[in-house]
Amino acid sequence: MRGQDHSGESLFSYVSCEARVPLDHPLRAIRAIVDEVLEVLSPEFEQLYARVGRPSVAPEKLLRALLLQAFYTVRSERQLMEQLNYNLLFRWFVGLSMDQPVWDATTFSKNRDRLLDGAVATKLLGAVVAQAEQRKLLSSEHFSVDGTMIEAWASMKSFRPRDGSGEPPGPGRNGERNFRGEQRRNETHASTSDADAQLYRKGSGQPAKLAFLGHLMIENRSGLIVASRLTRATGTAEREAALEMVRAVCGRHWITVGADKGYDTKDFVANLRAERAVPHVAQNTTNRRSAIDGRTTRHPGYALSQRFRKRIEEPFGWFKTVAGFRQTRHRGIGRVSWMFDLTAAAYNLIRLPKLIGAPA
């Protein structure tokens, strides 16, 4: 017998969002870890808000929503609010009931900016790393570092002389501008859209773009991110950020740090050793002498570090494809850095349930 195409609307619904999420859904394991992390950060949230006044968007709900944006490649916060309005899975993860209204996108963005002052994203990443450490999933001795280019939310037309000279743009909303033959340098030019973005080229033969540099440090046992930094795009930023991250994780014992040929400089190798870190850096012998000699390369651990360091490309690939961080959606190094740290925490949260459930 053929079924009838009748509307199934009813006045009341007795099924909750919790009941509609399958018991084996991957987000259930992630939600449990996120709740533990947010409980640890609750005292930090208390310091960011006044005790009187109109209640804000709960920081726990705000962070859960931003994590969903990274998990599901939601391209904007406005689209995220639209999804929260009708997506029951999203509502359950964030902590909204079926009847609770969704925030306006502008309200959500302003409340997110409040968390910039407390470096909440960095603390969130630290709390996630602490969860992995409690479960003995991290190596405390072997690490890898690398950097990648993050395109800025600014066009090349916005890169104009600092002194205000230069040809004015053409008429219209997106007027044309001919900069052929013009020498543009970071010392003399700046973007009118994002003053923190720098003109940067990945290598010989590659186009120069307005960009930032993102830096990660992973441990070599599970491939989890233990530190992240986002800096202006300069020729020395990768090595400077790597040293900063090494100082953050160094303890009383020696560690090893794997890296590619871009880190093979005399100063960087010497600075690593001064921080009690063995430089397992790939040798760069193209028309030069490497700062790494046989005293380092003769050990079997050097070859292992060179093999494992390539795993750092996995989080970079996830950042740029799934999390949509090939080009940032924000302007200003403060906001972009905050979102980079949050995305690093999101990557670890994706990995943790699989590592916890894996046999020892």
Residue 171 lies in a domain: no
Q: In this structure, are 92 and 143 located in the same domain?
A: no
- Model pLDDT, residue 121: 93
Count Cβ neighbours within 10 Å for each residue of 219-234 and write b for 16 or more, e otherwise: bbbbbbbbbbbbbebe
Low-confidence ranges of the chain (pLDDT < 50): 360
- Model pLDDT, residue 9: 67
- Model pLDDT, residue 8: 64
| Cα distance between residue 290 and residue 281, in whole Å | 10
- Model pLDDT, residue 151: 95
Confirm if 156 and 197 have CB atoms less than 8 A apart: no
- Model pLDDT, residue 114: 85
Residue 9 lies in a domain: no
- Model pLDDT, residue 136: 92
Residue 2 lies in a domain: no
| Cα distance between residue 1 and residue 24, in whole Å | 34
**% the chain with pLDDT above 90:** 65
Residues 102/106/107/113 CA torsion (nearest 10 deg):
130
- Model pLDDT, residue 53: 82
pLDDT tens-digit series, residues 280-337: 999 988 888 999 988 889 999 999 999 999 999 999 999 999 999 999 999 999 999 9
Residue 125 lies in a domain: no
Quote the domain boundaries for residue 38.
17-114
Count of the separate structural domains present in the chain: 2
pLDDT tens-digit series, residues 182-200: 788 888 889 989 999 999 9
CATH number at residue 240: 3.30.420.10
Q: In this structure, are 144 and 45 located in the same domain?
A: no
- Model pLDDT, residue 157: 85
Beta bridge pairs of residue 146: 216
- Model pLDDT, residue 20: 85
| Cα distance between residue 83 and residue 147, in whole Å | 33
Q: In this structure, are 60 and 144 located in the same domain?
A: no
- Model pLDDT, residue 359: 55
